[in-house]
Amino acid sequence: MDYFTILNLNKEPFSNSPDPDYFFHSQQHVGCLQKLELSLRLKRGLNVVIGDVGTGKTTLCRQLIRKLRKDDTIETHLVLDPYFSTAHEFLLTVTDMLVADKPDKSEDDYQLKERIKNALFQKGVDEEKTTVLIIDEGQKIPEFCLELMREFLNYETNDFKLLQIAIFAQKEFEKTLEKYANFTDRINLYHRLEPMSFKDTRDMIQFRLNQSSAVAQKLALFTYPAMWAIFRATRGYPRKIVNLCHRSMLTMIIQNKTKANWFLVQSCMKRAFDSPRKRSWALVGTMAVLVAAAIVLVPRFMPERTPSIVSIQPESYEINTPRNNIATSDASTSIPIKDEVSHAGQAQAAKTEMNNAALLDTPAPEKTGTTPDENSSSVAVPARSISSKSAETNSSQDPLLKMSAQHHPPKVLGQLKVQRKETLGGLIQRVYGIFNLQYLYSVMEMNPHIIDPNTIDIGEVIVFPAIPLSIKPYGQNRWWIEMRRSDNIKTAFNLLRSDYELTASSRLIPFWDNSSGLHFSIISTKYYYDAATAENSLNSLSPEKRSKSRLLSAWGDETVFYANPYLGP
């Protein structure tokens, strides 16, 4: 008898195959899937999803294919193993996918490229179809394939790219991207998958049990402490969660139990994750003593050091935003409203959910309540937290904020009064350059008067925390056109509010350095790789705008950024 029938299940709930029916709609996976689908349907070209082993990339890939194949106007092709020994072999594979007639191996690379280009034009223009190439295990892609895909992305009309590419890869693919700026610059969507939170871990386990249940009632095969033990052991990695749950259920049957508790999961965890070589208790005890001694003694003999500010550079996309354990999302994802979390070690996640589209698109109603005064000289920072780990991960522990005594980066950027047709999501996106859940929760934490971010009032004052960015250096010069600069967020924002053309062609970059303090630079959305092109663009502005603008080609080594100037349009 199959083990799952004993537990009132009609199907194995924790299979390690990427079954789309068992795709759990976690916050970050849904957000990634929505952004991918939108980018592909808008025919934006290149999309990259990066994640560690076991974060759900393959399952997400299959779910994307499943959604796209329901649409007759989309033609989807999948490459499971993108390792090719030669460029010719890769071209033969792509030609075989896109062209009805089988390619002749005697054809040279130029002939194959022409056939691919003609096929893409026929499908995209004549047949009005969207051609999508999905590549799993993208870290295996040879370097010459990147150059060929870059050429494919040059096949376009005046309105859209003819080939849409989605690459799912492990984190080592980032090193490949760093070496090929011409390919990286064409990325439209770059999304990093992270491990799941405890709430998502718990919900994923229950979702898979519900999907496999042979009875009407909800199955409770894991106690709450057991789920917490699973989360701590797996650190939120979906594949590890599935494997540990599978092993736990087998142990339940062997021990004739109807529910897995904390002790059962602990016993399974040791068998599932322990190294083959067992460490002796004496060695473990010795290591524990040494670690304890190091914790006590080392700080006494080490001088205080001020961590250096990492200079922000364009192509790494590694942004250290607020330290809450919340997956990054964007405006198309359903997100929970902020809720207090309690119980040390058993975080109770927020129940209420809202829609990001409403957050970004719903204008503020007329002011009805009392809010902080925008002109107030002081900003009150609430002491309460939105995370059960806030006491451990407050901003004072962040190396970017823990400066030496002579440096004083701001804790807040300033405050703005909500105007008609403005939304909280729109303000966050304008101030920080992007919108995601981490920024949303940090702003709401700084503004305890905001109960529901969907219903902020006109005239309400919003305080924006200073959230520094850190991006890996990448040595390549850039030039911007700086339209305006102010040392006050209200002045800079009012310039954008009053000039629609300026708003459409520029973005706000808050930054700080220890010589001049906090500033708000309004720079061109587009940056340039050489001074001559930047100078020509500056000269093309109207005389009035040109007189107020200047070229900007460098930032100070100690500059702390609160929005990324290297993000493209």
Domain-terminating residue out of 193, 209, 237: 193
Q: Are residues 185 and 259 in the same domain?
A: no
In whole angstroms, give the CA distance from residue 348 to residue 199: 7
Q: Residue 263: helix, strand or coil by DSSP?
A: helix
- Give the residue among 70, 126, 120 at the shortest CA–CA distance from 99: 120
289, part of any domain:
no
Q: How many Cβ atoms sit within 10 Å of the Cβ of residue 514?
A: 16
Tell whether the torsion through CA atoms of 485, 486, 492 and 495 is positive or negative: negative
Q: Are residues 125 and 263 in the same domain?
A: no
Angle at 332 between CA 327 and CA 335, to 5 degrees: 50
**What pLDDT does 372 receive?**
52
Count: domains in the chain: 3
Q: Are residues 180 and 238 in the same domain?
A: no
Distance, C-alpha 64 to centroid of its chain: 17
- β-strand partners of 481: 551
For tokens 């590694």, what's the residue? 318
Which pTM was predicted?
0.47
Distances (CA, A) of 209 to 76, 204, 231, 278: 31, 9, 16, 34
451, part of any domain:
yes
β-bridge pairing 74-79 and 130-135: parallel
49, part of any domain:
yes
- Give the residue among 129, 94, 97 at the shortest CA–CA distance from 112: 94
**What pLDDT does 279 receive?**
44
Q: Give me the CATH number covering residue 157.
A: 3.40.50.300
40, part of any domain:
yes
- Residues in the chain, total: 569
Q: Are residues 106 and 149 in the same domain?
A: yes
In whole angstroms, give the CA distance from residue 212 to residue 527: 52
In whole angstroms, give the CA distance from residue 360 to residue 423: 6
In whole angstroms, give the CA distance from residue 187 to residue 524: 19
In whole angstroms, give the CA distance from residue 321 to residue 111: 48
In whole angstroms, give the CA distance from residue 113 to residue 456: 54
DSSP state of 402: -
For tokens 């322990």, what's the residue? 274
455, part of any domain:
yes
Domain-terminating residue out of 441, 465, 489: 465
536, part of any domain:
no
Tens digit of pLDDT per residue, the chain (569 long)?
Answer: 466 677 788 888 888 777 777 778 788 888 899 899 999 999 999 999 999 888 888 888 888 998 898 888 999 999 988 989 899 999 999 999 998 888 777 888 999 999 999 999 999 999 999 999 999 999 999 989 999 999 999 999 988 999 999 999 999 999 889 888 889 989 999 999 888 888 889 888 988 888 888 777 677 889 888 889 899 888 888 889 989 998 998 888 888 888 888 889 888 887 665 544 444 444 445 455 455 555 544 444 444 433 333 333 333 333 333 333 333 333 333 334 433 333 333 333 333 333 443 444 445 554 444 445 555 434 443 433 333 333 333 333 444 334 333 357 899 999 999 998 888 888 998 899 888 888 888 898 888 888 778 778 888 999 999 999 876 555 567 888 998 999 999 999 988 888 877 777 788 999 988 888 899 999 988 888 888 888 888 888 888 888 888 998 877 778 888 998 887 65
In whole angstroms, give the CA distance from residue 265 to residue 281: 21
**Using an 8 Å Cβ cutoff, are 344 and 210 in contact?**
no
**What pLDDT does 394 receive?**
38
